[in-house]
Amino acid sequence: MVERLSPTVSMFVAYRSAENRVFADLRAAGFDDLTLQQARVVARLAPDGIRLTDLAEQTQVTKQTATHLVDQLERSGYVRRVPDPADGRGRLVQIADRGRLALEVAAAADRAIVREWTAHLGADRMREFRKSLAMLREITDPYQ
């Protein structure tokens, strides 16, 4: 089949499919209080935490929106705010226990998606696809 969609639209379609699948698995596992926008924030949390301003920038929302989302996530037990060891006045947003459990569900869904895509494309094509995406990330993700 000759692809008529542009590569960017094709990537968006694949991404949206994967995102919907991960989100459905989260809901099925009992994380039904997590919104899509909140899940995107949780996905950007660094292991040691991240400053709210950096989180806002990486998720491409205003600082006010990021604050609102983090407040909601904190009330639901997905994240916590802790003192920033590099700046006594600053705070970091870190993943909390409930958030860690949600990330485990999301990671399992991701592994299942990769297995399905590999079965469909074949191991060689999937390996090339992953290499191509890694190369594209060099010019598309300033936060890598």
Collapsing DSSP to helix, strand or coil, 141 comes out as: coil
What's this model's pTM, rounded to 2 decimal places? 0.86
| Tens of pLDDT, residues 57-111 | 999 999 999 999 999 999 999 999 999 998 888 899 999 999 999 999 999 999 9
Report whether pLDDT(47) > 70: yes
Domain ranges of the chain: 31-133
Distances (CA, A) of 71 to 19, 64, 77: 23, 10, 10
Distances (CA, A) of 117 to 31, 56, 129: 25, 31, 10
Domain 31-133 architecture: Orthogonal Bundle (1.10)
Q: Please, which pLDDT band fits residue 2 given cuts at 50, 70 and 90?
A: low
Backbone angles phi, psi at 96, to 5 degrees: -105, 180
Both structure tokens of 2: 């000759």
